[in-house]
Amino acid sequence: MNSAAIQPSPNKDTIVWAIICSLLLHGLLALIIPNIDLDDIKEPELLEITLAPKTEPQAQPEPVQSEPEVTKPKIEPKLKPEPKPVIKNKPSPIVQETQPVVETPVITPPQEVIAVKPVAERPTPVQTIPINEPVKEPPPPPAPSQAEIDNATGRYGNALWSAISKHKKYPKIAQMRGWQGETIIELELDGTGKLKSKKVVQSSGYEVLDKQALEMVEKALPFPTPPEALRNSNFTITVPVPFKLE
Please determine, for residue 2, whether its predicted confidence score (pLDDT) is greater than 50: no
DSSP 32: H
Please determine, for residue 4, whether its predicted confidence score (pLDDT) is greater than 50: no
Helix axes of 146-165 and 207-219: crossing angle, nearest 10 degrees: 100
CA-based radius of gyration for the chain: 78
Please determine, for residue 226, whether its predicted confidence score (pLDDT) is greater than 80: yes
Q: How confident is the model at residue 14 (pLDDT cuts 50, 70, 90)?
A: confident
Average pLDDT estimate for 79-100: 55
Q: What is the tens place of the pLDDT at every residue in 154-206?
A: 999 999 999 999 999 999 999 999 999 999 999 999 999 999 999 999 999 99
Whole-structure pTM value = 0.43
Please determine, for residue 10, whether its predicted confidence score (pLDDT) is greater than 80: no
Average pLDDT estimate for 79-106: 56
What is the average pLDDT score of the chain?
74
Q: Which residues contact 149 (CB under 8 A, 6 or more apart)?
A: 229, 230
Determine phi and psi for 211, rounding to 5 degrees. -65, -35
Q: What is the pLDDT of residue 112?
A: 54
Whether 179 contacts 208, CB under 8 Å: yes
Q: How confident is the model at residue 3 (pLDDT cuts 50, 70, 90)?
A: very low
CA terminus-to-terminus distance, the chain:
180
Q: What is the pLDDT of residue 233?
A: 87
In whole angstroms, give the CA distance from residue 206 to residue 137.
Answer: 55
Please determine, for residue 1, whether its predicted confidence score (pLDDT) is greater than 50: no
Average pLDDT estimate for 222-231: 92
Would you give the distance in Å from CA 160 to the centre of its chain? Answer: 59
Whether 197 contacts 238, CB under 8 Å: no
The fold of 149-243 is: 3.30.1150
